[in-house]
Structure 1
Amino acid sequence: MALTTATERRLLQVAVGLACLVPLLAGGIGVLRGAAFLRAAPLVDLDSHVRYLSGLLLAIGVGFAASIPAIEQHGARMRTLGLLVVTGGLARLLSLYHDGLPSAGHRFGLVMELIIVPALLLWQARVAQRVGAAPSTTIVGR
């Protein structure tokens, strides 16, 4: 029996909604508890987690780099990536408040996440406007 488009759409929405619970819960616990949620975990779990998060950072960097050739046309992509970076920076800021000043490399990350990336997003929007690129009113685009 074939599903109607509306039914298939609704089933996909439910499936994605359920799947979202994993990163929302795991991410929320990680933001609120920091590394404490991994302290009792075997080293292999910590290594797995660090590599996963590093893969996300790598993908974010690739996404920004892919925007460079036609940067004025990629506002939605850049805002999506920027939202990810700023959200991570806010979580890092919570860590600073909760646990104290991190090492220089992490302080550099905080500056990138909460100052440099937002400034680049504003600059990209200005360039897009100046060259007459089609405006996008969404944060993450379509």
Structure 2
Amino acid sequence: MVSEKTAFRIVVALAGLVPVGAGLAGALGGAAVFAAAPDPFDLSLDSHARYLSGLLLGIGLAFWATLGRPEVHGARYRLLGAVVVLGGLARAFGLLAGEPDLAMRLALVMELVVTPAICLWQARLARNAP
């Protein structure tokens, strides 16, 4: 039987594939990675997309860096979780302009549902740690 801590590690490792993969793709590919980008050749938009993708990559790597002893990283989970939720709320505000593509809707679920659930689970692990 898999322990709760091992299950948590697996979930965080798999969930981390999203920000690491998307962040790396955007950092390397720029605005052209995002099909809905108005003009992937706009250098300012491209620069901004690469910067934000680098932040996303860093967030994913920071979550992965906790996998050794996730129960002791409560402050990191709270900070990273707050950053991700804030970004998700900003994305949700953008829904006022219209509905984005499926990838962006799935990102919203990761930001406003999955990440907070992982943070709550980490807090439970920390409370139950020996």
Whether TM-score is above 0.5 comes out as: yes
2:104 aligned with 1:103, yes or no? no
For residue 75 of structure 2, what is the aligned residue in structure 1? 76
For residue 56 of structure 2, what is the aligned residue in structure 1? 57
Shift of 1:101: 1.1
After the TM superposition, which residues 87-126 of structure 1 pair with which residues of structure 2 at under 5 Å, given as runs? 87-96=86-95, 98-126=96-124
Q: Which amino acid in the other structure matches residue 122 of structure 1?
A: L
Once superposed, what is the RMSD of the aligned Cα atoms? 1.6
Q: Which amino acid in the other structure matches residue 99 of structure 1?
A: A
SS of match in other structure, 1:67? coil
For residue 43 of structure 1, what is the aligned residue in structure 2? 42
Shift of 1:119: 0.5
Aligned length: 92
Structure 1 unaligned blocks of 5 or more: 1-38, 133-142
Q: How far apart, CA to CA, are the structure 2 residues paired with 1:78 and 1:91?
A: 20
Shift of 1:68: 1.1
Q: How far apart, CA to CA, are the structure 2 residues paired with 1:131 and 1:69?
A: 14
Structure 2 unaligned blocks of 5 or more: 1-37
1:99-125: CA deviation from partner (whole Å, max 9, x where unpaired): 111100000000000000000000000
Q: How far apart, CA to CA, are the structure 2 residues paired with 1:117 and 1:106?
A: 15
Q: How far apart, CA to CA, are the structure 2 residues paired with 1:69 and 1:111?
A: 26
Q: Percent identity?
A: 53
For residue 128 of structure 1, what is the aligned residue in structure 2? 126
SS of match in other structure, 2:65? helix
Shift of 1:47: 0.5
Q: Which amino acid in the other structure matches residue 129 of structure 1?
A: R
Q: How far apart, CA to CA, are the structure 2 residues paired with 1:70 and 1:127?
A: 10
Q: How far apart, CA to CA, are the structure 1 residues paired with 2:97 and 2:64?
A: 33
Runs (4 or more) in structure 1 with deviation over 2 Å come to none
Shift of 1:52: 0.3
